[in-house]
Structure 1
Amino acid sequence: MNNAWRSHCPALPSSPVSLSPRSLLTTSLRWFAPFLALSLAGCGQPPLYQQTGFVFGTKVDIAIWGLPEPLAARHAAAVLAELDRLHARLHPWQPSPLTQLNAALAKNEAGNADTELIGIIDEARDYARRSDQLFNPAIGGLIGLWGFHGDQYPARLPDPDQRAALVAAQPTLEDLTIVGGTVSSRNPAVQLDFGGFAKGWALDRSASYLRRHRVYNALINIGGNVLALGRKGEESWKVGLQHPRQPRAMAVIALRDGEAIGTSGDYQRYFEVGGKRYSHLLDPRTGEPARSLQSATVIAPPSREAGAISDTATKPIFIGGREHAIDYAARFGIGDVLLVANDGSVFVSASMQPRLQWLVNPPHLYRLR
């Protein structure tokens, strides 16, 4: 599954690699391309090792700097194997422990959950509370109704009565009761789908593995959710921020040790009906795709939950819109925020603005307040 990029004295590109998600796969999610632009003066310098795979329905890239190739390859392969395991356990529509639990909840029965799955539920419940339930992993039924439980999703609108019924049921993680190794729900409409933070959560697990094994300089990219460890030689790790309407990067951002960056956008998983775009980012209050922005990007400061926070926080920011962005970001300890409005205008927080190296100048640039 994994194809390693190797070279004894590699010739690296002199500009950022920026690929549109749809140029990879229609199911690809957030994508930042690592900036592989550091020239190597000679073969005696520490190597950049990269290994890629496909997990969580998207491209995964692991770059490790400064280790001998066999050692870097072994650690990258271990991370990819763990991501495969997590993907199989958390899959929301193919057979998995999560679908088994959802089947029990739908029948108003208690389902089994191990310590790992219970830990995910508890962490997600905390994030959902911070977001006023705009990040809501209990609306898997609604996501499936819109056709986003599949590798391909048809261009059709859901039945309005079914959608209204699911919205009226108001499923949340607060409906769950956990006793020992069992999970029950007082609301049969609860269907768990952790796609809103699973990649970020997996980033944190990957970073933890690398730190434990003394891999201190690496970049982990799970479909555009990116976490940086250390540096790439004398330079910081750099990522290209995908333009939401063009197949290229709009800006480059340097990440500090332990930071994670995540984006939610309407260009990642969507279909069109009657010339109107319908993305997978659903507003639980209406049961419809949120439409106030093209994309929302945040950088989470270093912590053991940086990956999960960078993934999760973009949901209430994207759904809640520009007026509430700073408030929701602050609830997650985030100061660096960038929004792309529907007209292409960009709004950035005061701390984010100096970090941006623009490749495509936005039509209008505003301070986010």
Structure 2
Amino acid sequence: MRWPGVSPRSRTRALLAAAALLLAGCGEAPLYRQTAFVFGTQVELSIWGLDKAEAARHAGKVLGELDRLHRRLHAWQPSPITRLNTALAHGTPGEADAELVELIQQARDYAQRSDQLFNPAIGGLIGLWGFHQDNPPQHPPDAAQRDRWVAMAPTLDDLAIDADRIASRNTAVRLDLGGIAKGWALDRAARYLRRARVYHALINIGGNVLALGRKGQEPWQVGLRHPRQPRAMAVIALHDGEAIGTSGDYQRYFEAGGTRFAHLIDPRSGMPARQMQAATVIAPPTLAAGAISDALTKPIFIGGRERALDYAGRFGVKDVLIVANDGSVYVSASLQPRLQWLIPPPHLYRLR
């Protein structure tokens, strides 16, 4: 190629400058991030390897779907859930479309595996504690009312599902699917991204996270929040298809008389569980990894450290971490080498 009127030295300098610009452009990470507020928490979607316009289009689709699911699954604002709960409370069948039936059936399976410690039928009890409000009251409920809800012992096994109609033999059933909704939504988002051939992404719904592919040459890295400090205590690399979920007493709670009362209610006593500060699991890659990582943390948090690996095994999970009430950390053998500590715990033990 000839450049009329340009000296060989100038041509060389121009070519070197162009090459430098090209290399600089190639070095920029093709990472797109978009955030929103859904499910009462911050949602962040990261996509690697696509141009900005295409990534933004897919991110918009995912965030729109998450918002739709949030509105459909809301436990106290008008939704298909509240309408179904009203019908069940009156002893009449309620309507549910195929999507909601699928979720209820999946939740029922997980409730059975967890000996009903994960129990999405105790929405009435959760509401009694004030956790069906954006700002819960700062005192425990009346003990007699609480005990009446416990005695009625509602579970998802009380439901009879016939196509798009759901009836209950127990009028105390009040559905609250908040213990699985974020994880289930992760699976729906991952399903869309895979079908759209978006193979490298990280979906984070308020700390419930699912990874697809990698971030360039490295796995996706996520922070594990410290339950008593507003920062991460460790970093964990997630592999393709894995999902991480955490339940903690710092997410929704109030304090009264020097006692912390969190939203994680033990169905057996009607009281907030106080076994630990936080429970974290990593679910292996399956089409239900998100839902498993969300639901499983409830029986571990409520059931206590001694039953943690038992419940994890029922869900096909090996990676478990528990933060005890004194700040000590118990971690399964498979998870320990994957942790990069930012705030080392006062004591670290093998979870057995």
Indicate yes or no: 2:124 matched with 1:168.
no
Matches within 5 A, 1:132-281: 132-281=115-264
Find the partner of 1:324 among 307, 312, 316: 307
Give the match for residue 323 of structure 2: 340
Output the TM-score relative to the length of structure 2: 0.93
- C-alpha distance in 2, partners of 1:81/1:156? 36
Aligned to 2:18: none
Q: In structure 1, give the amino acid aligned to 2:111.
A: A
2-structure distance, mates of 1:43, 1:49 = 15
- Alignment partner of 1:300 is 2:277: no
Q: Distance in 2 between matches of 1:43 and 1:73?
A: 20
Unaligned runs of 5+ in 2: 1-22
Length-normalised TM-score, structure 1 = 0.88
Choose the corresponding residue for 1:43, options 9, 14, 25.
25
Q: How does 1:38-77 map to 2 (within 5 A)?
A: 42-45=24-27, 46-77=29-60
SS in 2 for 1:283: coil
Aligned match of 2:346 in 363, 366, 369? 363
Equivalent in 76, 81, 95 of residue 93 of structure 1:
76
Deviation at 1:166, TM superposition (A): 0.3
What residue number does 2:9 align with? none
Partner-residue secondary structure (3-state), 2:105: helix
Cα drift, residue 181 of structure 1:
1.1
SS state at 1:247 partner: coil
Post-superposition CA distance 1:65-84 (Å, at most 9, x none): 01000000000000000011
Structure 1 distance, partners of 2:134, 2:198, is: 34
Higher relative contact order (CA 8 A, sep 6+): 1
Give 2:270's aligned residue.
287
C-alpha separation between the residues in 2 aligned to 1:201 and 1:122?
Answer: 12
Give how far 1:47 is off.
1.2
Q: CA deviation at 1:151?
A: 1.2
Match of 2:63 in 1: 80
2:4 corresponds in structure 1 to none
Q: How many angstroms does 1:42 deviate by?
A: 3.0
Letter in 1 for 2:246: T
Q: What is the CA distance between 1:247 and its match in structure 2?
A: 1.2
Amino acid of the structure 2 residue aligned with 1:70: A
* Deviation string, structure 1 residues 234-258 (Cα, Å, up to 9, x no partner): 1110001000011111000000000
Separation in 2, partners of 1:347, 1:71: 42
Residues 176-235 of structure 1: per-residue CA shift (max 9 Å, x gap)? 001121100000000000000000000000000000000000000001100000000011
Q: How many residue pairs were aligned?
A: 329
Query: Per-residue deviation at 1:163?
Result: 0.4
Distance in 2 (CA, whole Å) between partners of 1:42 and 1:221 is 30
Deviations 1:243-292 (A, max 9, x none): 00111110000000000000000011000001110000000000000001
Higher helix share: 2
Deviation of residue 333 (structure 1)? 0.4
Return the alpha-carbon distance in structure 2 between the equivalents of residues 154 and 162 of structure 1.
Answer: 16
Distance (Å, rounded) in 2 between the aligned partners of 1:332 and 1:348 = 17
What CA RMSD, in Å, does the superposition of the two structures yield over aligned residues?
0.8
Rounded Cα–Cα distance in structure 2 between residues aligned with 1:249 and 1:329: 24
Distance 2:136 2:221 in 1: 33
Provide the secondary structure at the position in 2 that maps to 1:132.
Answer: coil
Matching residue's letter, 2:64 = A
Q: Distance in 1 between matches of 2:104 and 2:251?
A: 25
What secondary structure does 1:288 align onto? Answer: coil
CA deviation string 1:330-353 (max 9, x = no partner):
001000000000000000000000
Task: Please tell me the residue identity of whatever aligns with 2:25.
Answer: C
What is the CA distance between 1:43 and its match in structure 2? Answer: 2.4
| Structure 2 equivalent of residue 27 of structure 1 | none
The separation in 2 between residues aligned to 1:213 and 1:340, in whole angstroms, is 38
- For the pair shown, which has the larger CA radius of gyration, 1 or 2? 2
Classify the secondary structure of the residue corresponding to 1:239. Answer: strand
Report the 3-state secondary structure (helix = DSSP H, G, I; strand = E; otherwise coil) of the residue aligned with 1:261: strand
Shift of 1:150: 1.3
Aligned residue number for residue 114 of structure 1: 97
SS at match of 2:321: strand
